[in-house]
Chains A and B, each alone.
Chain A
């Protein structure tokens, strides 16, 4: 697994308090990992900080799963 994926996973595990093996490619933050809408905002904020990137609101809305997040951040950084 790439370094970016590891770092994203660490943030998701810490923030949502879920088991690491639940955070799979297609795991939806809201449907599978128990996030509420505010959690997703906080996750995006945490990604921005960790990777020093800016995630615009319309892009943030497309980040629904762990895989989405890794892909977006990989493309952006």
Chain B
């Protein structure tokens, strides 16, 4: 339904379950994709799977200089940067009273500050092209909160506010900035939960199941499309109804 032929998309965290699905969906719609992540092997594997129009762009998002350079590397590899998906994120969970400054700062740096820098680097070319799509992957916990994740919740809520401010600044240039807030998505991370934990989680979700990475990817595909040009500053909640905002 959505055609991204001729568009170049950079996806961070493409070595993970959700990021990989996002890159696959954009690629399937015809886009050239830049696969970014810390671990090169899974990126190369995904690139081989996708075949043509896939570029591996390893980047450690906790390395400030590497983050600054990534949009330029993406343009060099793909010829342009029309779509930026800030999907990468880390967690350093701990109860608030036990959370160290390091745990706080590292999550803010990787989940919020790196997205700020990547947006800043990408917007320049988008402004010239008078077209661009930025999709920031936030989380249900950015609005609902979650015990043990003060740092992560702060970063994700911060990403939402940042996206709205940027959306207002660049709307007149044909650039949209939106967020997708996933709920519980079945990935390698949630596979580690035991049946009882899974049961407790699914009981809190009206649809009675966890989401699939592909269900986040299809939401990204929509927001990256030409057809979504009138949607900006929005958050699309993809959470099976667990938090209806």
Residues in chain A within 8 A of chain B (CB atoms) = 36, 38, 42, 45
Contacts and interface: CB of A to CB of B under 8 A. Distances in A.
Contacts of A42: 127-128
Interface stretch (B68-76, B86-94, B167-175): B167-175
Contacts of A38: 127, 169-170, 172-173
Contacts, number: 11
11 contacts: A36-B172, A38-B127, A38-B169, A38-B170, A38-B172, A38-B173, A42-B127, A42-B128, A45-B124, A45-B127, A45-B128
Contacts of B124: 45
B127 to A, nearest CB: 6
Q: Mostly helix, strand, loop or mixed at chain B's interface?
A: helix
Contacts of A45: 124, 127-128
Contacts of A36: 172
A38 B173 CA distance: 9
A22 B170 CA distance: 27
B237 to A, nearest CB: 30
A26 B229 CA distance: 38
Q: Closest 6 A-B residue pairs measured CB to CB? A: A42-B127, A38-B169, A45-B124, A38-B172, A38-B173, A38-B170
Given A38-B170, A38-B172, A42-B127, 8 more contacts: A36-B172, A38-B127, A38-B169, A38-B173, A42-B128, A45-B124, A45-B127, A45-B128
Nearest to B173: A38
Nearest to A37: B169
Nearest to B124: A45
B177 to A, nearest CB: 14
A15 to B, nearest CB: 10
Contacts of B169: 38
A36 B168 CA distance: 13
A42 B169 CA distance: 12
A38 B165 CA distance: 13
Nearest to B169: A38
Nearest to A42: B127
Interface in B190-227: none
A45 B172 CA distance: 17
A36 B172 CA distance: 11
A37 to B, nearest CB: 9
Contacts of B172: 36, 38
A18 B172 CA distance: 18
A69 to B, nearest CB: 18
Contacts of B173: 38
Nearest to B170: A38
Interface in B137-169: 169
A15 B172 CA distance: 14
A43 to B, nearest CB: 11
Nearest to A46: B128
A42 B125 CA distance: 10
